[in-house]
A = this chain, B = another copy of it.
């Protein structure tokens, strides 16, 4: 009688993702320049040549880290957008929650290295260097454009420039909530927890929606005055 046969590929898969997760932590904590491939390999428990074997070089290793996570987040955001607009036009709160919740939740997922990715994504979100912008363009611009269009359908008074700013504001909000720098806890003497995902989402959505409506009104008034 034959045993249930396993895929037998014990060796490969472990190393590949171990490197990826170690790299995620290293890039998040020390930046691209500060992270060293040697340390990444050491912490992953693999030979340092394995990093190049699987990912060629440091640049592509970085891209691979971002690619994996951005897929996880943006698939959820795209699905949520599909569902929301299927039955007409949703409310602004629903829309913003659909956009921000996946980002916040993955950052709060301690068991799967969420906080490390949160710190990483925050760092490169506001970075102006060519590598960061290329990665942002490839992995985050498509969902950004779709989100901005959705925001303008939900709040018609929102001009394109205001919508872009609002989107970037909202993302920046959500990211600042994910990156547990310890500063919020320090400044609030421990009152700000930020481990409560639901409260975090609620705060981000409330703040963002109010801000967006304010920009929409401002835009409206300007148009009325000048038109």
Contacts and interface: CB of A to CB of B under 8 A. Distances in A.
A205 to B, nearest CB: 9
Nearest to A211: B207
A31 B34 contact: yes
A168 interface: yes
Contact of A187 (B123, B141, B173): B141
A160 B188 contact: yes
Contacts of A35: 33
Interface stretch (A10-18, A67-75, A98-106, A174-182): A174-182
Nearest to A210: B214
Interface in A195-220: 202-203, 206-215, 218
B176 A30 contact: no
B215 A207 contact: yes
13 contacts: A29-B129, A31-B32, A34-B34, A119-B127, A123-B126, A123-B127, A136-B183, A144-B187, A160-B188, A164-B184, A202-B218, A206-B215, A206-B218
Closest 3 CB pairs of A and B: A33-B34, A210-B214, A207-B211
Interface of A: 28-35, 119, 122-123, 126-129, 132-133, 136-137, 141, 144-145, 148, 160-162, 164-169, 172-173, 175-177, 179-184, 186-189, 191-192, 202-203, 206-215, 218
